[in-house]
Amino acid sequence: MTLFQLTCMCRSESEYKFIGKIVEEVSIRIRCIPFHVANYPVGVESRILEVTSLLGLGSDERTNTVGIYGIGGIGKSTTARAVHNLIVDQFESVCFLAGIRERAINHGLAHLQETLLSEILGEKDIKVGDVYRGISIIKRRLQRKKVLLILDDVDKVEHLRALAGGHDWFGLGTKIIITTRDKHLLATHGIVKVYKVKELKNEKAFELFSLHAFKNKKN
């Protein structure tokens, strides 16, 4: 190999690495675009603190899963979006699967698995064929990735088994947040770290009412 060829190869390799770094940086910036949390995020701060404390953000030892439960419309998804915005930049890959209950009915679990893989890997047109093959693909391709995975509005344990079945599916430091109306579902899947979203106390409830009714805080 000539010196010219070697120089061109080194330059090509350097350019390839440089382009790779640019792509990685752009991907991180796109990923870190925050979600809209709520028009009036009253009381969200305390909920964020509770959930993040359960997640154990300082530990990269193993996958840590936290369940957020409560009645419909109480603010489970709002809390999950707020937590996402706060911690998203700490992870290699991120996936927020919203409205799983409805999407599973309309599109099936295999489609949700494909969406999960596409968002985390940054690849389009991923096909898994069926749920069982999808489980194998998720475990094989994601077991070394530090992931933030949010599964929103889950109502069947089959959803969890297909999308986040075990601690060995993802890399060390992975954090999983699950929102559901059914606390029993979380227990059935072995999730012990749970946070119940409660109704706002009188002062906060009146503040939120005032914001909606008068577009202003109470006097």
Residue ranges of domains in the chain, CATH in brackets: 40-214 (3.40.50.300)
The answer for residues whose C-beta is within 8 angstroms of residue 46's C-beta and 6 or more apart is none
* Number of alpha carbons in the 13 Å side-chain half-sphere of residue 62: 4
Residue 214 has pLDDT above 60, yes or no: no
Whole-number pLDDT of residue 211? 43
pTM beyond cutoff 0.85:
no
Contact status, residue 197 vs residue 68, Cβ threshold 8 Å: yes
Report, in angstroms and rounded to the nearest whole number, the Rg of the chain calculated over CA atoms. 21
Rounded to an integer, what distance in angstroms lies between the CA atom of residue 15 and that of residue 28? 20
Q: How confident is the model at residue 61 (pLDDT cuts 50, 70, 90)?
A: confident
Whole-number pLDDT of residue 206? 36
The least confident of 22-31, 57-66, 91-100, 178-187 is 22-31
Average pLDDT score over residue span 147-169: 95
Output helix, strand, coil percentages for the chain, rounded to the nearest 5.
55, 15, 35
